[in-house]
Amino acid sequence: MRFPNAVLFKPGAELSYYISQAGGFTQRASKQDILIVRQNGKFEVSEKAHIKPGDEIFVLPKIEAKRLEIVRGITQILYQIAVSARVLLMAW
């Protein structure tokens, strides 16, 4: 499902029930990376979590290794530019 969707609480229902009621997994969903946000703000990472009234379920997207490497490379370059700029400013 591309948009958040509310599903009525059903006592005893498993996590898979709520995901299917909300439209199921997308192609980019990571079925192993599911977060349950409790009403008190605590996070639980579990595929076998016991769902309670008011819980929110977040299915995280898959992260492709290539994208992660590109982000890491860009981050390193930006860090090096920031360090160089600071050294230049300190020298003045």
pLDDT the model gives residue 70: 82
> What pLDDT sits at residue 55?
92
Are 18 and 54 in the same domain?
yes
Same domain, 34 and 69: no
What CA–CA distance (Å, rounded) separates 81 from 38?
A: 41
Residue-by-residue pLDDT tens, the chain, 92 positions: 567 788 999 999 999 999 999 888 888 888 888 899 988 888 888 777 789 999 999 888 887 767 778 888 889 988 888 888 877 777 66
pLDDT of residue 41: 85
Residue 44 near residue 67 (C-beta atoms within 8 A): no
Q: Structural domain of residue 82, as residue ranges?
A: 63-92
Q: Do 28 and 56 fall within a single domain?
A: yes
| Dihedral pair phi/psi, residue 34, rounded to 5° | -120, 130
49 and 91 part of one domain? no
